[in-house]
Chain A
């Protein structure tokens, strides 16, 4: 693969799947700075993984794998200790800088609480929850995680109940 092809693929993935990456990042870490660090690490790993991408797996499966593996290996502050870097995820630094669609509409509130609930799950369960919320099939999830589809079903059943109960519990407290 030439450098030009790698660059073109990266741009296309950014264009088409940036939402997926941001969801994984926000589902794995909470603070804006950590999200920014992890986001940049995921992009770096994605960039490095492109030459190995032969199109045998679906692009989304590939990106999920890279994103979750990076998130699992990620260590808070490691990148900041090593280098100074520009921040890109400025959207959630303060309420004033948030775009209009991130206002406190009831639906956005539900989404924010879902992110918080997902972050409380064990990391592998959080990965499954994020893919399930995005509507991936059991087969695709099995390819990303490397476990059987049956087991995915068992785990998802438990995760759905956990998440629903957490959010219902939070609703009742309010």
Chain B
């Protein structure tokens, strides 16, 4: 028997299988529908929460430091509040805005599950490459402005208010946080995103 004949036999065995009945014995359409609707709500919430956590925390931090800036300012007529905490607030708002714009652009470019496979793979590859670029350059667009703003502002605040607590906060919290964030980004690129990119490139290559 040649390969084609053998494959035809396989194909007819395949078509005779009764795979559909297996599920319906265990879960009827109502239960499945209810579960899908529940999952959809959860999925939307989780996705939105994932995206908004980073962005909203940036804007909240901006609000908090604006409040500190105004509260610690020496109010004199025709003079702006002292700039130390306001600089941090500006940096936080800048970062949050950058993430928000990036999220909106990426969301617009996203394909849906009903697009052809090749288009979805290409779109996923672009998304992963963009994510890798973001994380590889996280020092320049996130940690450098963040730590610079904090360092300048907190050193100035320590001098202005004659206290070391801002300097201590900078050394004990802000700098380790930046270092940890940088390491985490590199780890994510190495362990998650690069393997995913290679996988998608292989998939795309198999369709070219």
Contact = CB atoms under 8 A, between A and B. Distances in A.
Interface of A: 7, 10-11, 14-15, 18-19, 22-23, 26, 40, 43-45, 47-49, 52-53, 62, 65-66, 68-70, 72-73, 82-83, 85-86, 88-92, 99, 101-102, 107-108, 110-111, 114, 122-125, 127, 132-135, 143-147, 160-161, 163-165, 167-168
B29 A11 contact: yes
Interface in B104-135: 112-121, 124
A99 B207 contact: no
B40 A44 contact: yes
Given A86-B35, A107-B16, A160-B4, A99 B22 contact: yes
Contact of B21 (A73, A85, A99): A99
A143 B117 contact: no
Nearest to A127: B117
Contact of B116 (A47, A102, A132, A146): A146
Secondary structure of the B contact surface, majority rule: helix
B53 interface: no
Contacts of B206: 122, 124-125
Interface in B1-44: 3-4, 6-7, 10-11, 13-27, 29, 31-33, 35-37, 39-40, 42-43
A145 B16 CA distance: 25
A67 B201 CA distance: 20
A70 B21 CA distance: 23
B152 interface: no
A72 B11 contact: no
B202 interface: yes
B100 interface: no
B15 A23 contact: no
B23 A47 contact: no
Contacts of B37: 47
Contacts of A161: 3
